[in-house]
Structure 1
Amino acid sequence: MLVEGLMRTVFFTFITPTFNRVDKIHRVFESLCQQTLRSFEWIVIDDGSKDGTKEQIKAYQQEADFEIHYYYKENEGKTSALALGIPMAKGELIIIADSDDCFVAETVEKFSEAWLKLTEDEQEKCNGILALCVTQNGQNIGEDYRNEGYYNPIDFAFGGEIERVGENWIASNATILKKHWVLNDAEKMLGFIPESHFWNKIVMSEKPIAYRINQRLRIFYVNENEPSLSVGIRKKAPKGLHFDAHYFITHYTDLLWKYPKPYLKHLLKYALFTQYLGYGFFVGLQRLPLMVKILYSLAYPFAFLLRNRYFR
């Protein structure tokens, strides 16, 4: 009954943004081939690879018994790649599978079981199903969730549990994700905006219900002999990080009273990137509401003291 219901009501879209990962992307393909439920498509957004990724995906298209869609674009980063791929998704749920990840064979089945427990009204309001991760060596990443089932996504994101749990993986409500993972012309010019910017927008704008399962579905590779994509990102993409910090402190001021730590952290980041970009104190001050101006004035000297260490 579950499979029959799934085939009628749920269709998954896996989206993989990739850049020069032809030696790793086989992990995603092999994981998809092993899925116990087959109701999905795979969208690959090639963000300017020069390593034969196109030819590899074309070969996968000939071999696979599921839909594979390949799109090439100039290199602009993961955020823009997802902004291209997400609107194309036909699925009711979207899973972002990084190009160097793999996942267990029951991934689609487990996400489906959790999703189908919800009523249609609950599905409409739910931002997705959250699951846990494990390393390639079988070691759990972080602790289990405090509880399975419904949880408060705002409290989870800003109340400290996310740091205790560590790496997560989500099958996202496609309608909600498509609404918020959008870049305007000015944002496209930034080149990079952290993914957390969009997850925060979903949580704070939609205030959705959310559901999670204490199962480790994603295999997250650690300690591989290649540089992390995030190494040096503060110096590579200061404008995007500055934009994100400014958006956070001006749009989510209510968080200051209940969750001061993440709010003040973004405030300090705004001051740091304002200095790093050479905008100066008064330029940064002009873009803020009155209450935030006061906090920014207090944070600015601390940012000056931390700046060399932060950007080292």
Structure 2
Amino acid sequence: MNFIDYLPTLKNENITKNFKYKFTVFTPVYNRESTIHRVFNSLNKQTFKDFELILINDGSTDSSHEVILELLKTASFKVNYINNSENQHKMACYFQAIDLAQGKFLIILDSDDECVENALNIFNETYNSIPKNKREIISGITSLCMDVSGQLIGEKFPEHHYYSNTFRKNIYFPNSGERWGFTKTEILKRIKINPNMFSRGLIPEGLIWEFISSQGYETLYINEILRIYHTDTSNRLSNINHKKNSFGVAVYSISVINWFSGDYIFKKPKYFLKRTYTLLRAANYLNYKKQDYLRAIPNKGLKKIFEIGWHFKHLF
């Protein structure tokens, strides 16, 4: 087993496609018959109309398909609806949507959440306000979220317009809370990911955001509350099942260690110790040899810690 084969890479070719819309909104659906209406309600109310919705029903076993067919009749915007016969998990659907996307910016709106009516307008105006000489290195914009009672989730960013990236934000603001934003579609279309990973449980979305960070792109973080985050569903896509999703967690941990430990191991050693711990915990549920993991860890210190921890991983 070579874990390095599962790390994303960036295709050399540039994407020069003339996009048809400013935004592509992507919504994956799995057993959301009672909540998918929130997405349609939110998008119908948008003050900015230059967008499409790519809606992928990922093998739902409830009445999501029938509900969606009725909601399509109410849509005041373009919808590209795909009804997958089998469940592929969110990451596979995301790359399915990336291939189909005709918007310059791609944004995920989960099937049990909402956004405020001027969300896309604020994203568009904020991007246009970025100095032209800086736009090339900006991968996207990320905003704040609130719960259904209107309370901010997490903390505000240090500045109203705060330039950073996913990795630096995670290590310097680890308790920042739920966030929401868009990514340039041209960057996403260049990402190459091993499709064999899609059948191995849930893959953390952070794998993509961390990879984009590793390629030198920045994100603009803004203190605008644009998404309404619901917590009333028990089987949210963001829920963690350590056994079921252990492969994705292992690849994520190995990726972060490979991409960032060289520059940050002495600045933030606790962060990489945590990632090593997470990797050991995931290894409990995976049938791979110790050497498979050691080959994928570039840092000698973390490699040694993992080797010692291997004998105690059943306790994690």
Q: Same fold (TM over 0.5)?
A: yes
Q: 1:132 aligns with which of 144, 149, 160?
A: 144
CA shift at 1:118, angstroms?
2.4
Secondary structure of the structure 2 residue equivalent to 1:236: coil
Contact 2:91 2:198 in 1 (8 A): no
The 2-side partners of 1:123 and 1:20 are apart by 38
Unaligned runs of 5+ in 2: 1-18
Contact 1:272 1:304 in 2 (8 A): no
CA shift at 1:233, angstroms?
1.7
The 2-side partners of 1:69 and 1:225 are apart by 25
Q: Greater CA deviation, 132-141 or 71-80?
A: 71-80
Does residue 1:252 correspond to 2:260, yes or no?
yes
1:44/1:10 Cα in 2 relative to 1: closer, same or farther (>3 Å)?
closer
Does residue 1:175 correspond to 2:186, yes or no?
yes
The 1-side partners of 2:236 and 2:198 are apart by 23
Contact 2:140 2:182 in 1 (8 A): yes
The 1-side partners of 2:240 and 2:181 are apart by 26
The 2-side partners of 1:271 and 1:121 are apart by 43
Q: 1:109 aligns with which of 118, 121, 124?
A: 121
- Aligned residue pairs total 296
1:20/1:227 Cα in 2 relative to 1: closer, same or farther (>3 Å)?
closer
1:225/1:43 Cα in 2 relative to 1: closer, same or farther (>3 Å)?
closer
CA shift at 1:64, angstroms?
1.7
Counterpart for residue 51 of structure 2:
40
Amino acid at match of 2:221: R
CA shift at 1:136, angstroms?
0.5
1:155/1:77 Cα in 2 relative to 1: closer, same or farther (>3 Å)?
closer
After TM superposition, which residue ranges in structure 1, 4 or more long, deviate above 6 angstroms?
none
CA shift at 1:9, angstroms?
9.6
Does residue 1:213 correspond to 2:193, yes or no?
no
Counterpart for residue 202 of structure 1:
212
Does residue 1:192 correspond to 2:202, yes or no?
yes
CA shift at 1:67, angstroms?
0.2
Q: 1:241 aligns with which of 249, 253, 257?
A: 249
1:91-106 residue pairs with structure 2 within 5 A? 91-106=103-118
Secondary structure of the structure 1 residue equivalent to 2:28: strand
Contact 2:51 2:103 in 1 (8 A): yes
Q: Which has the higher helix share?
A: 1
Deviation sequence 1:48-96 (CA, Å, 0-9, x none): 0122222222223322221011112220211111111122111111110
Counterpart for residue 303 of structure 2:
296
Deviation sequence 1:235-276 (CA, Å, 0-9, x none): 112222222222222333323133323322222222332343
1:297/1:280 Cα in 2 relative to 1: closer, same or farther (>3 Å)?
farther
Deviation sequence 1:146-197 (CA, Å, 0-9, x none): 0022412156434331x332111012111112223x4323323434321111
Contact 2:162 2:222 in 1 (8 A): no
The 2-side partners of 1:279 and 1:257 are apart by 29
The 2-side partners of 1:232 and 1:208 are apart by 28
Counterpart for residue 102 of structure 2:
90
Amino acid at match of 1:48: G
Secondary structure of the structure 1 residue equivalent to 2:144: strand
Provide the identity percentage: 30
Q: 1:148 aligns with which of 160, 163, 178?
A: 160
The 1-side partners of 2:303 and 2:285 are apart by 15
CA shift at 1:228, angstroms?
4.0
Contact 2:54 2:80 in 1 (8 A): yes
Unaligned runs of 5+ in 1: 1-7
Secondary structure of the structure 2 residue equivalent to 1:43: strand
TM-score (norm 2): 0.85
Structure scoring higher RCO (CA < 8 A, sep ≥ 6) equals 2
Amino acid at match of 2:69: K
Counterpart for residue 59 of structure 1:
70
Contact 2:243 2:282 in 1 (8 A): no
The 1-side partners of 2:120 and 2:205 are apart by 23
Contact 2:27 2:56 in 1 (8 A): yes
Amino acid at match of 2:105: L
Counterpart for residue 5 of structure 1:
none
CA RMSD of aligned residues (A): 2.4
Counterpart for residue 285 of structure 1:
294
Secondary structure of the structure 1 residue equivalent to 2:190: helix
